[in-house]
Homo-oligomer: A and B are copies of this chain.
Amino acid sequence: MASGGEVKLFGMWASPAVRRVEWALKLKGIEYEYIEEDISNKSKDLVKYNPINKQVPVLLHNGKPIIESLVIIEYIDEVWKHNPILPKDPYERAMARFWATYSEDKCRGAVREVFFAEGEKRVKAIKCLEETLRALDEELKGKKFFGGENIGFSDLVLGWMAFWLGVSEEVASFEVLDPKKFPWFTSWIDNFLKVPVIKENLPPRDKTVEFFHSYRRLHLAAPKC
């Protein structure tokens, strides 16, 4: 195990953003204390360490809080330099960061749209999500992972799609993960989920499906303004 001071992670079991930070910590072999947050009743510590948006994940390293999952992963990679997550070459680093941004700016919103949309809006949202996946499929052509043979920054950041997109399909009754349409993207999902650190650090699928069923029901029942 890599040492380097006291590391704590404030998380929530169903959160993809928390899970990607855990993957990074495990890839580096960093020992850490995990603190589960009750999102409906946030702890004083969470509010103290992340007063601005009061969200998980928060990484606490030697008492100092780091916020935002992508920022946390880059921090981890800069402090613990073994088993590098980002490539060394500046251009490859830029590509890795581009796909990470693509996850947050495009994929997250596209999945969310389909997850909550109904009727005609849903048809449109599915088309948009498929376009989003098309770009990933093309990027992954002929590759095992985004960076090549080993998982890296883009894989960790986009990794939520390997698990939570399938969960979303089940919860919201849609289907986009078609190996005929997206052969490279779906095979990346298989490759990603086979990596021991990932496979051993996923939430239980049934419990996750149940959680997102409630989440969706609550959202759809909420008054719209």
A residues in contact (CB < 8 Å) with B: 52-53, 61, 64, 66-68, 70-72, 74-75, 78-79, 90-91, 93-94, 97-98, 101-102, 106, 135
Contact = CB atoms under 8 A, between A and B. Distances in A.
Q: How many copies does the complex hold?
A: 2
Contacts of A67: 98
Instruction: Classify the interface of chain A: helix, strand, loop or mixed.
Output: helix
B68 A93 contact: no
Contacts of A93: 74-75, 78
Contact of A90 (B70, B75, B91): B75
Contacts of A75: 90-91, 93-94
29 contacts: A52-B102, A52-B135, A53-B106, A61-B91, A64-B91, A66-B91, A66-B94, A66-B98, A67-B98, A68-B97, A68-B98, A68-B101, A70-B97, A70-B101, A71-B94, A71-B97, A71-B98, A71-B101, A72-B94, A74-B93, A74-B94, A74-B97, A75-B90, A75-B91, A75-B93, A75-B94, A78-B90, A78-B93, A79-B90
Contacts of A106: 53
A212 B52 CA distance: 30
Contacts of A90: 75, 78-79
- Residue from A52, A68, A79 with most neighbouring chain B CB atoms (10 Å): A52
Contacts of A53: 106
A182 B97 CA distance: 33
Nearest to A64: B91
